[in-house]
Amino acid sequence: MQKLLFLFLLIGCTQEYNFDKKGGVPGPVVTTDTATVTEPPFVVLPPHPGEADPYAQIHVEPYDYDFGEVEVNCEYEYDVVVSSIGTGPLVIDNVDYASTPELSLATEYDFPLSIEPGENITFTFKFNEVDTIPDTGRMYIYSNALGKTSQMITNQGVGKPSGNQVDVFTQEEISKADILFVVDNSCSMTDEQAGLADNAESFIDDLIDAGVDFQISVITTDDPTPVSAIITPDSTDPVTDFSRAVSVGNSGDATEQGQEMAKQALDPIRGSLAPGVFQREDAALSVVVVSDEDDFSPLTELEYYDFFLSIKEEELFFFHSVVSLGFGCGTATGDRYVDQSNLTGGTYLDICGFWGDNLNTIANSNYIIQMQYPLSKLAIRGTVEVFVDGEPLEAGWYYDISLNSVILEDTTILRGDEMFQVMYDYLDECPY
């Protein structure tokens, strides 16, 4: 038996490439590290011309590609050329490409695909970065190539910040607050009303200690009519008045409509708490819903939001929710109330939590203009820093990416006339 001697020649090359942001094929350059071929092509030569059977062989260029740091929200692309360099057809059975969402394979072929010797096909990859998190991709080409039936291709890239931004807000104190409590009076609210009433003293004391000129009225989730006279610092016994007012009983309608009742009570024409009766032009207006159920009001949150802003400036209106957040108590989560709180920059608190803390948060929220600070540019998560009068603020706030806003958790941080600064790296629209 004659032994066939095969000479295997490994040809390695390290070639660096630029890429055309508009989709051109990479071209070789001398001084760049944007792309590097890290795996050599695998070439098999026959031992004697005319004696070897036809064989398939594959050559890929480039094997590995690095987009480097790119502008976010821009689309980049590059091509990978797959060549048949054997003496027989190269049959590609299939390809598998897995990547982070910003990287994609733009080319589609019907497999299996046969490529004659000396011919090639092209795979185009696209990169549309939307953040500064590194992205990677890996593709396997499965073929009949001699010694290389599985060929791997990799690519990667990362977005760079568009710049650094400092937003400056001047915090002002509100000395007047009109507070409307909407208390659920359904049959499941006995314990919650008791907790609210038992902590009336701390709530009223917090307002008085802060020097707030307050007005408090209480309605229920099925009736827009106030259950008592308006409570003020000048009331004979505001603590007792508030405690009694929020004890509204448990015989009310089980179809709670907290937003609708607030709307009807505050209506500037027909409402029992219209301007001149309850609403003061120079006071902050807060609605506080206390319920262990979700809202069954007939309008959408946006419709109620539009109504509230029609009667009070945006920076002076807050919708606070003390509702079930799904942590073990309450009949149903108060999702609709929470949505309204998010829309208006108000707070949402767990009705299962400690009532003293809940009421303290609500009290403090009624004389701070803003708890939500919308940023002027789209911030990169993890780069946001907050300063008060030039000093770093380490706690009591968080960045909400869905709102692109800094949200205050501790409403006692700011009392008036402080300079509130937010520094962050941002992402902008594609400059091209």
Return the pLDDT at 109: 95
> What is the rounded CA–CA span in Å between residue 179 and residue 157?
52
Average pLDDT over residues 176-200: 91
Provide the pLDDT confidence category of residue 351 given band limits of 50, 70 and 90: confident
If one looks up domain 174-369 in CATH, what number appears? Answer: 3.40.50.410
State percent of the chain over pLDDT 90: 56
Least confident residue range of 112-126, 127-141, 410-424? 410-424
Helix, strand, coil share (%) of the chain residues, nearest 5: 15, 35, 45
Q: Do domains 7-159 and 174-369 have the same CATH topology?
A: no
Comparing CA positions, the residue from 389, 396, 393 lying closest to residue 420 is 389
Looking at domain 7-159, its CATH class is mainly beta
Q: Which residue has the higher pLDDT, 403 or 152?
A: 152
The per-residue pLDDT for 370 is 59
- Residue 192: phi and psi, rounded to 5, are -70, -40
pLDDT digits (tens, 9 = 90+) for 11-54: 333 333 333 333 333 333 223 334 433 444 444 444 444 446 89
Report how far residue 63's alpha carbon sits from residue 65's, in angstroms, rounded to the nearest whole number. Answer: 7
pLDDT band per the 50, 70, 90 thresholds, residue 332? confident
What is the reported pLDDT for 239?
Answer: 94
Q: Which residue has the higher pLDDT, 150 or 372?
A: 150
Q: Is the pLDDT of residue 172 over 70?
A: no
Report the pLDDT averaged over residues 371-399.
89
- Name the token pair of 389: 């009068």
3-class SS letters over 149-193: CEEEEEEEEEEECCEEEEEEEECCECCEEEEEEEECCCCCCHHHH
Map out the domains of the chain as residue ranges: 7-159, 174-369
Task: Write out pLDDT tens, residues 79-123.
Answer: 999 999 999 999 999 999 999 999 999 999 999 999 999 999 999
Model confidence band, residue 385 (pLDDT cutoffs 50, 70, 90): very high
Burial profile 207-236: b = 16 or more Cβ within 10 angstroms, e = fewer: beebebbbbbbbbbbbbbebbbebbeeebe
Is residue 60 over pLDDT 90? Answer: yes
Global pTM value: 0.50
Q: What is the mean pLDDT of the chain?
A: 83
pLDDT score recorded for residue 22:
32
- 263 vs 53: which has the higher pLDDT: 263
pLDDT exceeds cutoff 60 at 68? yes
pLDDT at res. 113: 96
